[in-house]
Structure 1
Amino acid sequence: MSSKLIQDILQVTDDPNNVPTNYTLIESENGPVTGFEASNIDSLLLTQLTENLTIKEPFTYLNECFQRCQRLKRINKGDQSLAQLFQETDRLVIGYGLVAFQIQDFAVNGSAKQYVVNIINSIDNYTDFLSQIIQRAIIEESIIDLLDNVFPTLVDYLIKDLPNFDLNDSQTYNNVLTLFELFLNFKPVAAVFTKVEGFLPTGDCKGNLYEKVTTLGPILTLSPLLFNVALKNYGELLERTKQQTTIIHESLQAEHRVVIDRLFFILDRIIRGSLESRTDMISYLAQIVNKNHLRRADHAEQNKLATNAFMTNITLLLIRFSQPFLDVSYSKIDKIDVNYFNNISVFIDLSNETRLNSDFKEADEFYDKNKSSKDSRPNFISDCFFLTLAYLHYGIGGTLLYDEKLGPQIKRIKSELEKVKGFAQSNSFMTNFVNVQLKQLEKSLKYTTSIRDAMKGFFAHRSIQLEVFDFVCGASTFLMRVIDPKHEFPFKPISLPLIPDQVGVENVDNADYLRAHAPVPFKYYPEFVVEGPLNYALYISHYGGSPLFRNPRLHSFVEFGTTILRCPELVSNPHLKGKLVQLLSVGALPLTDNSPGFMVHIFEENELVSKHLLYALLDFYVIVEKTGSSSQFYDKFNSRYSISIILEALYTDSSVYKRQLIWQSQNNPDFFIRFVARMLNDLTFLLDEGLSSLSDVHNLNNELRERAAAAPLPSTDANEPDTAELQSRLSAAQRQAKSSCGLAAKSVELFQNFTKDIPGAFATPELVDRLATMLNYNLQSLVGPKCGELKVDNPAQYSFNPKELLKALCTVYINLSVQDEFLSAVARDTRSFNVDLFKKATIILGMKTGLVTGEFCDQLVQFAQKAQEKKDEVAEEDLEYGDAPDEFLDPLMFTLMKDPVTLPASKVNIDRSTIKAHLLSDSTDPFNRMPLKLDDVIPNPELKEKIIAFKQQKKLERQQEQAQ
């Protein structure tokens, strides 16, 4: 019985007359072998493996022997006399299976690569056998030898023989993942897995090679974002219906979700294996992100960096590891070390990282002074959290930046395609050349569009994006904890502001003061801890299924954003704050005509947000005047436009924000005045720029039409622009008109609201003359002699509605009509003020369009008539004081000074209201550009007395003349 079992298990026989298929005849020098006993199994196996040339795949043979043994063991389960036989057979077969991997030359036709290929092709057939081999290696303490023969061979095979190892070949990648899972199911294997040859790269590995030469690299690239996967799924059908695209998206999303789950299991086993394996894993992931910082560079060379698939997968896996200590209870948030970067053994390279509000030297000095002891090192939770923040910025952050660049790239390719097609139609002699170009461009378009579609599918995967944004919200709460001087948030509320507000009529963005008072250690954190979450949230907010929508944790992120804006000492980079207000404006925009923006309920109901957001927005509106970049003059308009959208959404009759605004104007006038001054500066520029651009559009369109209608005669003027140049000018004017008019329209809406509720704030000496001049000038532009130049085709495309703009400007006049200072300022504007313009405006708004009531028209005309009366009075006064000495006149306004002061540097005498108005926009002496603050000006009581005496003398002379 036992002899027959041994023959069947090993597929050997001693009967030369009966050799079944695949059986081997075993003979000795003296003839056939007799007696297949347990004691002979070792020699029989050894003979088979080392001498039998018909066994082409030794490991497969051993696996089959093992399976036959298990089957026969089950059949003969009740026969105890055979137990030892089966046990010995198992021991030897498993032992030789281990030896086969450890010593490749041991077996005839032995090849570790062939063993691995066979396993990958049919993993289910090898699972039980491999499990036994792994257990034997663990017992014999030779597990590293086994791993070093399996996994480097596997990686080499995947990279060299399967260059397209990806989601397109589901059987192969699933089998490979199963092999990893099989080994790592054993904790002793997981504990030493990072010691496998190739787990950590040798030497200076480039950023793009980690996914090709390291043990985990190939499996960590399994993603729909891989080029080949995108091309196969999206490239075959570029013209698709929305439903077809959705089906492809959902199929890849489901597959990717399963892959991420399996990859997480693999990494989780390694991290839980041992302290050493956990440390090695963190080191491996840190090396990758440190070598790929250029993924966020504007002109990164993608072929020298890790792929989006690789970096994005790692980001998702780290986010999954972060979930337990960033859940809504925050029960483990105190395990994240707020002083993490003080540790000596920090894996993340900060050498070139911009800090939140400190320079490199200051940060290095702080860390050198506050380094932890050599024996201490961060816990895994802290390592994982900060590494995840780095990956959010350079991993997913690099991917979304790449996606943002694809749009313009696709647009350029399509434009080039049209040009080439047009050239083909007009040049039949170059058909072959043009066809080659067409094929190249069409191929390029197919590739690029496929990648873009894959990106859309990935970022539209709501369940995965919810995990990412949950991390963003958790990180926001932790960063609030770092900002909190006592580090007790969220269990105790944070008190804002952290330092006293710097309020004054001059510029308040004192960078040195803010840096000196920024909280420690937050000021020394790398900028990416804020930029990564912010970039992601802003990008993903534009997706229909964005994880920001209907998300109960969104309040954490809005709280953090409000705190950043409310405390200008926290973040020095104005561009980050600009992105932040842009995101908040997205959340403020109505979803439908009757539905508020998805953040509005947080703006109104969250205590921290509702208490501080208004001041934060008004303050940043002023500070964003200077961004430090060459384009700072235009940068501010985008941020202020976003702020205007938020303020418009919040400013309702019942809103707490309206009450706060009124309170600020009454109780904090210097703060509010500098905000209104910036609004006025912007509106003045934008209206002027917008209307001028519309005039250019009108005139250029007319000239192009005239040229098109006229006979094509050669021009006699060498300096006359050709049609192409005119078309280019028209395009530029159209872009400028669209931008300026859109921004101006939003600013005018705010002026309407604010002048209605707080008119006194707009009639201050610092502002009133500039406001009146701006209104008069634009009223003249809209209804004056040159208003016809503003007529353009399709004015809506420029956000230009002249009648609504006229109504808004006239509404501001009426709102401020009860302010005597405003009335006087309108009258003082001799350049643009004209009663007839107001009358013409009432005809347009009342009789022609019916946009306003008769009462509105009467109020406007009455105001204009009062202003005319005031103008006549001013003219008389000018005659009366016309011979005033120059020293009595304001050097900028050329009017009699009321409160003269002396500027300390230039020694020029100027009216206090004039220099105060100047300092609202420019914190320098207007006569020598030296730095200047209002507190520095010197009162000049002697000159004031002289002016008063002069006016009294003139008054006395007038009375005497009237008496005569």
Structure 2
Amino acid sequence: MSLLEDVFQVTTDPNDSRGYALLESEELNQGPIGVENIDSLLLYQLTENEGLNEPFAYLNDCFQRCQQQKRLAKAQPSAEKVQKTFEEIDRLVIGYGLVAFQVENFCLKGSLVEYIREIIRNVDSYMGFLSQLIQRAIVEGSLLDLLDAFFPTLQHYVTKELPLFDLNDSVTYNAVLTLFEMFVTFKPVAAVFTQISRFFGGFDCKANEFEKKTILGPILTLSPLNPNVALRNYGENLEQTQQQKKLIHESLQTEHKVVIDRLFFIVDKILRGSAESRTGLISYFAQIVNKNHLRRGDHANQNKLASNAFMTNISIILVKFSEPFLDVSYKKLDKIDVNYFNSVNLFIDLSGETRMNSDFKEADEFYDKNKKDEDSKPNFISDCFFLTLTYLHYGIGGTLLYDEKITPQIKRLKQEIDRIKKLTQSQDMFASFASLELKQMEKSLKITQGIKDSLHGFFSHKALQLEIFDFICGASTFLIRVMDPTHQFPFSPVKLPFIPDQVGVENVDNADYLRAHAPIPFKYYPEFVVEGPVNYSLYISQYNSSPLFRNPRLHSFVELATVLLRCPELLSNPHLKGKLVQLLSVGAMPLTDDSPGFMMEIFENNELVNQNFLYALLDFYVIVEKTGSSSQFYDKFNSRYSISIILQQLYDRIPLYREHLVWQSKNNADFFVRFVARMLNDLTFLLDEGLSSLAEVHSIQIEIDYRAKGLPPTREEDDQELRSKLSSAERQANSSCGLADKSMTLFEMYSRDIPKVFVTPEIVDRLASMLNHNLESLVGPKCGELKVNNPQQYSFNPKALLKSLTTVYINLGDQAEFISAVARDGRSFRKELFERAVHILARKTGLVDDEFCNKLLAFSNRAQEQKIAEEEEDLNYGDAPEEFLDPLMYTIMKDPVTLPTSKVNIDRSTIKAHLLSDSTDPFNRMPLKLEQVVPNEDLRQRILEFRRQKRQSSK
């Protein structure tokens, strides 16, 4: 039959001129080929014909020709007669195609890898045939056998047979994705997909092996973040302009978007295939992230961990799955189980995870007591949501941390390359060796810079980052819901604080109290559910295309930040809160056109925020005194710098916050005094440190100039040590002066509008002493020591600082307590310093007007008069008994109290001032609170009598 010969491209006629293969089987050479011979013909071709080199390709070609003949036959009158022939051809060709994949050595030259290679090369021509194979396998019940042969072989091919499988080879990766898409479109395939061998990594599968050893691994690494893709697109030309890089970014972003959509389609089909495939898929993703916790480690070896390409792709896919139940309507928010971590057999490994505000033992005991029964398994929405949060921290979070790490690497590489280039210019033996080393380092720079550029391209992909930040906004609302004792937020407003504020003049040292009252179950949540969103948001805010800018959902994240800062029992990690205020300060800072920061509208108009934000900032300003780390003394300055930026912007631009501040100062005096005391401590230290460092810079710069002129050294250090000390002093000066400037700004503003807070007994003497000392430093006889080259390099503007200091004097000039405190400062107060300040500010710089000068001089006159009066009084009281004197201040006590453990008598204002910074007895370091001190009425009466007698005797 000519039809069969045409379909199978065979003939029994040795003289046939069509080029068909001659059948040499005795059984088939007995006469014309009929329908009854099809089975034998195919069997011969596949198992005996040594001339048939590609058996699976042959079957596909037969299938294609049969379909073509069907279309031609439809136009013929005898179409019905050949229909059965076509059916038999299809039945046998498809059947043997199935057998060819199930039994690799069935065909004479059978090779699954070769079948896959050919399919990928000509994927479009194989789609119909493969589709029929899948349908036949479903009917016959052999689907899993087909899948077990096809996909492990495909995975082997792309990881072992191809030199590289990435976005650089669009033909191959598109073909592979097309195959995945076609297979999972059949729901029975999707239903059993997670049962395919090699879908999961083995128990011993290492963190960096999933993308090579699992079925989905290779396609989930298709990303611009792949190092080979980064090198080819960016690293090959390090001299690219920003515009060229932008064009490359846009091209790769477009391609990546298409790839992500296709990957999501594949994963979504598997997820919807069956309950088993859904559970298997979540388990697979969890298995990967559980083995990659070190991606957030400080010293992680990237080569031993999953790649950024792999982890970010999975993160984005999970974000897409989470979108429907985190939309702005929040209709499905209650589907996320607030007690999710009480579930049995969690997918997410929580061992070793830091908790919000509990230790490991307490958390484990809670979960042991409150485990749900086996039947109460979490729903998919809960599993997906918490897994996405995990990937946000370890997946995308690990990627942005990697970006932060390679930036200094690039700088060091460039410096080293410059050094080696200078060496290669010499003619010694080392020059040839250095030249070889140079090539290797330049190659490393290409790779590292390419990766850096690819990361920038990924994080500047606004559409993609918007999806991630939308998830964060939805997650923020859910987390507030967990904290809310009623778990009704956002459908009912949340009421803050959750527990009464712990306000006292002593240092906030109540970690145990806060932990005991932290809300359940939030206190047992892993810290990463907050850390991931915070790290991402802080990092992405540096991009011009940041999804935070003009985002209508941003208010949700700012609400979360406000609640976390307002309620100190929620989160015990001060470093994480420090990142929060750093991010909020970015949102508060004015834009380039001096318009309000992009968060300012939320600060002003969101009720949850504007009713709680100010207190939250002031409270954290105090609490951050102790961070628990060895560097806590310096950690606090960074957080307080960020808070100062926010407070300044709120005070300047939003009248409501100025009203709140005045209200707090009047109605919550202890709380506000505690805050001002911290500001004073910081400003005192920072100014002292900054001005001392500037004096050291001045000294070293003079020494360097001497040596440059050939003059003899006046210091012991050699040149290298001297330059090292200069760099250190410059860094310290820049840091301290910059931080001091922000604190000084707050002092100016607040001392103008709420002066009473600054003249309380526990603050006023230290404030006066600090101002007097720094005034002397700026205009006194040693002020020349602060002259340095390029002072703006160190954030040092001596004239502006002098104006700020003297402004505080004027703001507090009507307060009798302040005048007395300034006059009492025998170490630094001198009237002529104020006269010198007026000369500099008015005569030399013109920074102030006559009214300012007159007020400052009038203040100095009043302080001088007070000083004279107090000196006369001190002479009168010079023979006071020692027991009447404050043991720290050496002044006569006014309100003596006895400390409960050391039994020392001390003035109440002195111990109150001490407790603002340290919650211990200064004489034995035992814990102490103000309410524990005992008034010493007998001693007070004797002091009053002594004063009365002295006044009488002086008349």
SS of aligned partner of 1:766: helix
Q: CA deviation at 1:647?
A: 0.5
Normalised to the residue count of structure 1, the TM-score between the two structures is 0.98
* CA–CA separation in structure 1 for the residues paired with 2:653 and 2:185: 63
Are the aligned partners of 2:423 and 2:431 in contact in 1 as well (CA < 8 Å)? no
User: 1:447: Cα distance to partner?
Assistant: 1.1
Matched residue type, 2:432: N
Partner of 2:12: 14
Within 5 Å, which residues of 2 pair with 1:91-490? 91-426=91-426, 428-490=428-490
- Contact residue 235 and residue 446 of structure 1 kept, 8 A: yes
Q: Deviations over 1:99-146 (max 9, x none)?
A: 110111111111111101100111001000000000000000100000
One-letter code aligned to 2:36? S
Q: TM-score, normalised by structure 2?
A: 0.99
Structure 2 letter corresponding to 1:797: Q
Alignment partner of 1:58 is 2:28: no
The answer on whether the counterparts of 1:345 and 1:378 sit within 8 Å (CA) in structure 2 is no
Question: Could you list the per-position Cα deviations for residues 130-167 of structure 1 after superposition, in whole angstroms to 9, with x for gaps in the alignment?
Answer: 00000000000100000011111111111111241100
CA displacement, residues 413-440 of structure 1 (integer Å, 9 cap, x when unaligned):
1111122223333554432112112112
Whole-angstrom distance in 2 between the partners of 1:32 and 1:462? 69
Aligned mates of 2:564, 2:132 — CA distance in 1: 58
Match of 1:867 among 855, 863, 876: 863
Match of 1:693 in 2: 693
Determine helix, strand or coil for the equivalent of 2:611. helix
Instruction: Tell me how many residue pairs correspond in the alignment.
Output: 952
Q: 1:427 to 1:911 in 2, by over 3 A?
A: farther
Matched with 2:35 is 38
| Aligned-partner SS, 2:897 | strand
Contact 1:923 1:932 in 2 (8 A): yes
1:772 is aligned to: 768
Q: Please, which of 733, 754, 765 is the counterpart of residue 737 of structure 1?
A: 733
Matched-pair contact (CA < 8 Å) for 1:190–1:270: yes
**Using the alignment, how far apart are the partners of 2:142 and 2:593 within structure 1?**
70
- The whole-number CA distance in structure 2 between the counterparts of 1:29 and 1:175 is 41
5 Å-filtered alignment, 1:64-79, equals 64-78=61-75, 79=79
Superposed displacement of residue 593, structure 1: 4.0
Residue identity matched to 2:776: Q
Please say if residues 49 and 55 of structure 1, whose CA atoms lie closer than 8 Å, have aligned partners that are also in contact: yes
Q: Equivalents in 1 of 2:125, 2:136: separation in Å?
A: 19
Alignment-derived partner of residue 962 in structure 1 = none
How has the CA–CA distance of structure 1 residues 575 and 208 changed in structure 2, closer, same or farther, with 3 Å as cutoff? same
Over 3 Å counting, the alpha-carbon distance change for 1:135 and 1:31 in structure 2 is: closer
Contact 1:27–1:33 (8 Å) recurs in 2: no
CA distance in 2, matches of 1:624, 1:645: 16
**In structure 2, how many angstroms separate the alpha carbons of the residues matched to 1:74 and 1:672?**
88
- The answer for unaligned runs of 5 or more in structure 2 is none
Is the alpha carbon distance of 1:760 and 1:907 closer, same or farther for their aligned partners in structure 2, counting shifts above 3 Å? same
AA aligned to 1:953 is: Q
Deviations 1:875-894 (A, max 9, x none): 00100000000000000111
Helix, strand or coil for the counterpart of 1:910?
strand
What is residue 592 of structure 1 aligned with on the other side?
Answer: 592
> Deviations for 1:28-52, whole angstroms, at most 9, x for unmatched residues?
5489331322122111111111111
Please tell me the root mean square deviation across aligned C-alpha atoms, in Å.
Answer: 1.2
Any idea what SS the aligned residue of 2:675 has? helix
**1:609 positional shift:** 0.5
- Percent identity reads 68
> Does 2:550 align with 1:553?
no
The question of whether the paired residues in 2 share the 8 Å contact of 1:19 and 1:25 is answered with no
Give the deviation of 1:54 after TM superposition: 1.0
Mapped to 1, the partners of 2:172 and 2:593 lie a distance apart of 52
Query: Matches of 2:342 and 2:548 in 1, distance apart?
Result: 33
2: CA distance, partners of 1:298 / 1:185: 43
- Spell out, residue by residue over 1:723-742, the C-alpha distance to the aligned partner (whole angstroms, 9 max, x if none): 11000000000000000000
Return the alpha-carbon distance in structure 2 between the equivalents of residues 334 and 906 of structure 1. 56
Which amino acid in 2 is paired with 1:773? S
SS at match of 2:145: helix
Distance in 2 separating the partners of 1:365 and 1:340: 16
Per the alignment, in what secondary structure is the counterpart of residue 901 of structure 1? strand
SS, match of residue 32 in structure 1: coil
**What is the correspondence of 1:552-951 to structure 2 with a 5 Å cutoff?**
552-652=552-652, 655-710=655-710, 720-951=716-947
Partners in 2 of 1:326 and 1:30 — Cα distance?
Answer: 68
In 2: Cα distance, 1:27 partner to 1:938 partner: 116
**Residues 758/551 of structure 1: CA separation in 2 closer, same or farther (3 Å cut):** same
Return the letter of the residue paired with 1:246: K
Letter in 2 for 1:450: G
State the SS of the aligned residue for 2:706: helix
Alignment-mate amino acid for residue 251 of structure 1:
S
Give the counterpart letter for 2:649 in structure 1: A
Over residues 626-656 of structure 1, what are the superposed CA-to-partner deviations in whole Å (9 max), with x where a residue is unaligned? Answer: 0000000000000000000000110027511
Amino acid at match of 1:68: R
Cα distance 1:347–1:788, how it changes in 2: closer, same or farther (>3 A)? same
Aligned 8 A contact 1:506 1:919 in 2: yes
Preserved contact between residue 28 and residue 37 of structure 2 (Cα < 8 Å): no
Q: Which runs of 5+ in 1 are unaligned?
A: 960-964
Contact 2:356–2:526 (CA under 8 A) maintained in structure 1: yes
Instruction: Deviation per CA, 1:52-74: give whole Å up to 9, x if none.
Output: 11110100000000000000100
Q: Deviations over 1:730-758 (max 9, x none)?
A: 00000000000000011101000000000
User: 1:315, 1:392 within 8 Å by CA — same for their partners in 2?
Assistant: yes
The corresponding residue for 2:46 is 49
Distance in 1 of aligned mates of 2:778 and 2:531: 43
Give secondary structure in 2 for the equivalent of 1:651. helix
Q: Give the partner amino acid of 1:574.
A: P
Contact 1:26/1:33 (8 A) holds in 2: no
Amino acid across the alignment from 2:880? A
